[in-house]
Structures are given as structure tokens and as C-alpha cells.
Amino acid sequence: MSSLSQKSLEEIFHESVFATPAVSIRVEDSLSDAAILLPHYLETLTDSLVVTDNDKPVGIIGGIEILDSLLKTATFEFLSNTKIGSVMSDKLVIIDAKSKFADLIKQWSQTRRAFALIPNQHHGYSVISARKILDIGISFNISTKLSLIPKKQIITFDKNDSVKQIIQKMFDNKTRKLVLANSKSFINDRIIIQKLSRDLDCLKNGEDFLNMKSDIFSLDQAEVVSDDLSISEACKIMQSMKSPYLLTKDRVISPWDILMHLHQM
């Protein structure tokens, strides 16, 4: 029996490997268009938007690109006039369903982004992202414990931190989530972009977004679990969460941590 890492994506997921359609946006659309559309998909099965040029995929745009752009210029004019083609990432992973799981994770490790397109039978593309990988932990009944996942520092923020400080801390620590100090509440890129696009209308009224304090956000809650919880049970919990994030007494665990562990099996 081959190891999990040597199985093909279609062996692991069967027909469900094609279950999630790509959500696209055009290179000529604006950054504000992406900010409005993106919160619906961040941390869901799609996670990022595929950028197309003449209906062909040429890049992706997600929370990283939006937040990086905001750090440079957070104004309505900038968001409205900046074309997606000028800020998108061109690190687009396209992989065949017959490719091995190890091949997918190798490419994701290089791009530091769990997002890939898979050509489907309809001459289009389906999407696979970190959240989809949680299915593996459930269907393969992975019994190893969370305590085997390497610890990483819990990066926190304070109530008095500004939006700019929070975003900068995310980039400095290469994380999309920060935990509010002495709590199980956390903020992520989806929460920030959702506040920007829905509540502040992409800064149409000239708000000084970057200098606002963190109390403008409605935070998500991490699920507190034991280190003795199995990978399988952890994946079940994460699949039921809007923003999958687990907190033990001394570590945080995201879908990325799960997939990096699974590919070693």
C-alpha cells in the first residue's frame, strides 16, 4: 500500500477533487472589486480568486495582495483605480488530478500558499486549497495526535494596536492570523477586508483606515482543544468552523499545519 504522500489526488479525493469551481476576476477589474468579492471565499474551499486575461488564468489574488496594497496606500481612489493585474501574484499552481499529493505540497511549500487549479472535464478549472485537505484527515481516519505537530510561536496583538500595526505584524511573522493577547479571539485577513469593503465601503468617505484601532473589528473565536486530540478529530472540528483555527495550551494549529503534517505520511 502506497504512503499517503505518494497517492494521486484522484486516488485521495476521487470525484470530489473536481467539486469546487474556480472563482475568477479579470486583470482589468479594480482592487476594490477584489476586496468586495474576496471575503466570501477567504478560508473557504476556494480561498483566493483566480485572475484571468481573455478568460485564461494568469494569476491569483487573495488576502496577502489586498493587505500588502493597503499598507502602501489605503484610500478610496487607490482601491478604485488600481487594476488587479498590477498587484496580483503570478505564482499560479496548475496541477493534474493524477499528480501525487507530495507534488502538490512541494509546490505549495515553494509558493507558501495552499491554492491550486486542476483542469476538469468541462475544459475549465476546479480549485483545491488548504481547507480541502482537511477531508484527508477525516476520510483516512488519521489517529496521530496534535502534539506531534511542531510548535510555533503564538503571535498576538493588543486592543490598542492600529490596523496598520496588525497588518504589519502579519507580514513580519508570515501569518494570516493573530490572537488577541490573553484570549482565544483572533483576527485574520478576511475580517480586515470584510470591514474595509462592507462597513467602510472601500473608504469612500475618506476614513483613515490604517490608524483605526483593533476594536473596530468583530473577532473570530479559536476552538480550544487538547494536544491529545487526534488529527482526524481536529479536522472534523476545523471543517465545521467558518475560520478554522485551533488553540491548545501552548500552540495554534491552522489547516496549513495539518497539511504539512499529512504530506509526511
Q: Could you give all domains of the chain from N- to C-terminal order, each with its CATH number?
A: 4-139 (3.10.580.10), 146-262 (3.10.580.10)
Rounded distance between C-alpha atoms, residue 234 and residue 134, angstroms: 9
pTM of the model: 0.92
C-alpha distances in Å from residue 135, one per residue of 49, 52, 130, 240, 262: 21, 28, 10, 12, 11
| Sign of the CA dihedral with 22 first, then 26, 29, and 31 last | positive
Residue 15, number of CB atoms within 10 A of its CB: 9
C-alpha distances in Å from residue 239, one per residue of 19, 65, 198: 16, 25, 25
* Location of C-alpha cell 482592487: 31
CB 167 within 8 A of CB 70: yes
CA atoms within 13 A on the CB side of 220: 21
pLDDT at res. 198: 94
Strand order, beta sheet including 156-157: 156-157, 177-180, 185-188, 220-221
CA 14 from chain centre, in angstroms, equals 23
Give bridge partners of residue 30 from the DSSP assignment.
83
pLDDT at res. 1: 38
pLDDT at res. 41: 83
Rounded distance between C-alpha atoms, residue 153 and residue 12, angstroms: 32
Rounded distance between C-alpha atoms, residue 167 and residue 198, angstroms: 18
CB 191 within 8 A of CB 225: no
The one-letter amino acid code at 83 reads K
pLDDT at res. 175: 93
Rounded distance between C-alpha atoms, residue 17 and residue 100, angstroms: 13
Tens digits of per-residue pLDDT, 143-173? 999 999 988 889 999 999 999 999 999 999 9
- The low-confidence residues of the chain, meaning pLDDT below 50, are 1
Q: Which of 28, 74, 91, 79 shows the shortest CA–CA distance to 55?
A: 28
Q: 156 phi and psi, to 5 degrees?
A: -115, 165
DSSP annotation of 195 reads: I
Tens digits of per-residue pLDDT, 130-139? 989 999 999 9
